[in-house]
Structure 1
Amino acid sequence: MKIILGVVTRENQCRAASLEQNASVDMVPLLKANHQLPSGQECDIVTTCAPSVSTSDKITFKRTICTIDQDGKYTLTEQGTAEQGFLACNTLFLSAADRGKTKDVHLLVIENKEYVAKKLVDISRGHGQLTIKDACKFLTTDLICLKRMSHFETKFAQRVIQEGVDTAAFQVSDGFIIKTYYSNVAQVNAELQAPISEEVSATCKPTSIYLVEPHRVSSAVLKFSGTLGIRNRTDKHSATIMAFSHFVLESSACEYMFADLQGMH
């Protein structure tokens, strides 16, 4: 059985950084929970329920993708062709334990495929809006962290084969950023799966920005570590995830680490 992880990443120059970044691994479309595991509990199970969505905005957007080369250097590329999709007006319903403070999560459909779109909010201003410039900076950092984690996962898999170690299966999910633009299409009341046929050209200035990840049907979240500590468990998946965490520290000479690891089947 393959485990699908969700993590909060922390870049660290041989120390824990104070700036938290949200990332995921074949990744959980849920916000992180800011609490520690109760003593003696093997894992927290957090359930979410995505309600049926009938009201959405038809959006015009461009994607920004990130690639990591063999040396660990990243490249950000904004695609030139504008696309369209449906973005739910309401946020996804999340349980109180998993309702994050820094991001709103919306259901997004692109060509009949479901995603989750995460938008930063300014919690210092009573759930206000960040500027596009600031949101772009923070979400771009999240995307780079996500792709860097995928880069290390590939190296970890190679090391596992070389050493002949039996590990549990896991993988890092895809992710990308979208910047939305004004178009001539107003709000629509329709199923999100409705086909998109209208051509709309984007203006120069983006109106909002989201970090987009695949939408997962499963909602049971397993927590392998927190931001302030690690729970040592003996099951195969836990051992594999902890081994991966140590591998990242070792292979990057303590430049990078991943904290608050979460997963789902």
Structure 2
Amino acid sequence: MQQSEQPPSAAPRVLLVDDDPTVAEVVTGYLERAGFTVDRVADGPAALVAAGARWPDLVVLDLMLPGMDGLEVCRELRTRGPVPVIMLTARSDEEDRILGLEIGADDYVTKPFSPRELVLRVEAVLRRHAADRRPGPLLRLGGLELDPAGRRAAKDGRPLALTLREFDLLSYFLRHPGQVCDRERLMREVWGWDFGDLSTVTVHVRRLRGKIEEDPARPRLIQTVWGAGYRFDPTPTPASASAPAPAPTEG
């Protein structure tokens, strides 16, 4: 199913999916006071209907929903088109949070949470998403090719199936070859956040390695610099540590 066309609006549209009426009411109030238009539903099927009627600019999605959980809703939305997703979860289990990130959620917030912080995260994700959609030059480096305008990526001529944030992260590495980037810098530059759980970065780096490395257990392109962060090395050789990395080709 394709997303429905909707007239442009000055107010970004947020689809809020939560079966707790108290949480939904409070979050809706904060978002509306911050200038957002909010479509509020209580379950997964209703969320898909609402998204089909008016495609949202962002989805705030509870993980634990009756019948169809948030992970299923997120997967289905991803088949229809790109949209930023922030997941709400009452679970403290790290595996549940990581699973949400791995299927493409841009962020998660653990209940109980501050509605004001959620609004800040919504604003940060939307700012980053808008910046990501601005077209840029084609990037070629280390056997990788990225087309920012078309949001397409390939490795050695083979298309890569990347989530929105995996694409953004790889694009950042390609633009900064040979530089050591700590997780705080990546969170700030790629996610647009000055705060947040740094495991978000760790999960996305691991997922990205699984898609671009010949052996993800021994990564050569995205290398870990212990105690410092990560370095994208497009030409990993024994002498690469002392030689400057080549600049990406932009075409």
Bin the TM-score by the shorter chain. under 0.3
Under a length normalisation based on structure 1, what TM-score does the superposition of the two structures give? 0.24
Question: Which structure has more helix as a fraction of its residues?
Answer: 2
Question: Which structure has more strand as a fraction of its residues?
Answer: 1
Where relative contact order (Cα < 8 A, 6+ residues apart) is larger, the structure is 1
